[in-house]
Amino acid sequence: MSEPMTAREEWRRYWATVLAAMIGMSFYTVITYSLGTFIGPLEKEFGWSRTALSSGLAIFAGISMLGGPFVGMALDRFGTRKLAIVGMILASTALASFSLLNGSIGQWIALYVIYGVVALAIKSTIWSAGISSVFTRARSLALAFVLSGSAIGQTFAPVIANKLIVAVGWREAYIWLGFGWGGLALALLVPFYFDAHARKAKQVRASTAPVALPGLTIREATRDSRVIRIAVANLLMSIVGSGVSVHLVRVVAENGMTMDSAVDIAATAGIAGLVGKLGCGWLLDRVQGSVIPFTGFAVGAFGHFLLIGLFAGAAPLMLGAMCVGFASGAGLQISTYLVSRYAGLRNFGAIFGTISSTMMAGTAIGPLLAGSVHDLTGSYDALLMMASPVMLLCAMLFIGLGPYPEFPQPALAE
């Protein structure tokens, strides 16, 4: 019986798969984090309200919520490589097609429906399951790098979109984001992205036996209090976090910053998110307990408080944006890793796909809530004052989860 690989050996063998998945994950977030930059030009050209503009992301999130469990079950059975490649081709084309907008809200909604359906194949569940299937010793750090793709998107999508809009207009900006960013991701996926299912298929093409992995059944997971607490924390975080993140450029701008300064400040949230993912990823491979999960979420409570604008100047707003970004990055990394440990890998796709769906439910509600609050009150202050205590409650849910369970290895058929 062969000895398990060390963390260094895992990285030496699978680093290219991590890189491809990271860029794939970054593209998935482009449509979300670039919207704040497109709001101004679309408002000006079509006269749409911010609630109407936010409705697109609500539809996208709703489709992801409903489709998440089915995607999870599909990847548990068939693997993630084929889903990811086909999904990237279709999603990049769908994003570029936003350049065809003609002022009809119906068309706006239809494009988001199309994008939401095809993007199911490139959501975080796909990348998390693929990487978890090939990494064991260095799983948390590998997941951190992959999920840092969302931080890359959060950092660069608004900046790149803003520069493209200024240089070539919003229509061409959608085309460049779709085929440029999506094309880069596809160019990496085809030669480099291979999960455990694809690697086994290459080695034993005649075999039809599934890869046997330890973990909870789906029914057991629905009754496990630890899994439920992780799911609830992510639902609440996603409601307030997505609302603020999508409107972050406008939140900062309405606190006295110019548009360029607001874009730059909002971009720091992505950088902080990257730090949150990688820092927590490195620590979770080495330290078990509640301190890291609690801190990762609690930092967000402080960040939302600073964004209210009670303190003058750009520095508090930048620190607030960075805290919000750190919490967003750390939260997704922490939750993905903890699900892989507390629920195991036997039905990871279906279980995390369902939790991801609760997160997308929050993502569907959050931007609409933020847009509605602004339309009704003329500011985002009420949203931000609600967000701080909600994030603190999320942090409390991670206290006392207990040690990671040891799952028996399922027997393999000869």
DSSP per-residue codes, 315-336: HHHHHHHHHHHHHHHHHHHHHH
Give the length of the chain.
414
What are the angstrom distances between the C-alpha of 327 and each of 57, 200, 294, 298, 346?
A: 21, 36, 10, 7, 28
Cα first-last separation, the chain: 15
User: Could you give the CA distance from residue 27 to residue 229 in angstroms, rounded to a whole number?
Assistant: 29
The pLDDT score that the predictor gives to residue 315 is: 92
- Residue 212: pLDDT band by 50, 70, 90 thresholds? low
- Residue 208: pLDDT band by 50, 70, 90 thresholds? very low
**pLDDT tens string 347-356:** 887 888 788 7
User: Could you give the CA distance from residue 35 to residue 161 in angstroms, rounded to a whole number?
Assistant: 9
Torsion (CA) 179, 183, 185, 187 in degrees, nearest 10: 180
User: Could you give the CA distance from residue 45 to residue 169 in angstroms, rounded to a whole number?
Assistant: 12
Both structure tokens of 287: 């330290």
Residue 106: which H helix or E strand, with range?
Answer: helix 105-118
Q: Which has the minimum average pLDDT: 27-31, 99-103, 208-212, 353-357?
A: 208-212
The pLDDT score that the predictor gives to residue 306 is: 93
Both structure tokens of 157: 């999508």
**pLDDT tens string 121-171:** 998 889 988 998 888 888 888 988 998 888 788 789 988 999 999 999 999
Helix axes 259-284, 35-46, angle to 10 degrees: 150
Identify whether the C-beta of residue 137 lies closer than 8 Å to the C-beta of residue 145.
no
Catalogue the E-assigned strands of 19-177: none
For 293-331, letters b (16+ CB in 10 Å) and e give: bbbbbbbbbbbbbbbbbeeeeeebbbbbbbbbbbbbbbb
Examine the pLDDT at 250 and tell me if it is beyond 70.
yes
The stretch 57-86 carries a mean pLDDT of: 84
The pLDDT score that the predictor gives to residue 316 is: 92
- The residues pairing with 215 across neighbouring beta strands, listed in sequence order, are 344
The pLDDT score that the predictor gives to residue 151 is: 76
User: Could you give the CA distance from residue 388 to residue 390 in angstroms, rounded to a whole number?
Assistant: 5
The stretch 290-316 carries a mean pLDDT of: 90
User: Could you give the CA distance from residue 58 to residue 176 in angstroms, rounded to a whole number?
Assistant: 24
- Which amino acid is it at 404? Y
Tell the CATH topology of 14-396.
Growth Hormone; Chain: A; (1.20.1250)
**Closest alpha carbon to 360 in 173, 160, 158, 116:** 116
List phi, psi (to 5°) of 83: -60, -45
- The residues pairing with 344 across neighbouring beta strands, listed in sequence order, are 215
Angle at 193 between CA 123 and CA 278, to 5 degrees: 65
Both structure tokens of 336: 């993905």
The stretch 182-210 carries a mean pLDDT of: 75
Which residue ranges make up each domain of the chain?
14-396
User: Could you give the CA distance from residue 389 to residue 391 in angstroms, rounded to a whole number?
Assistant: 5
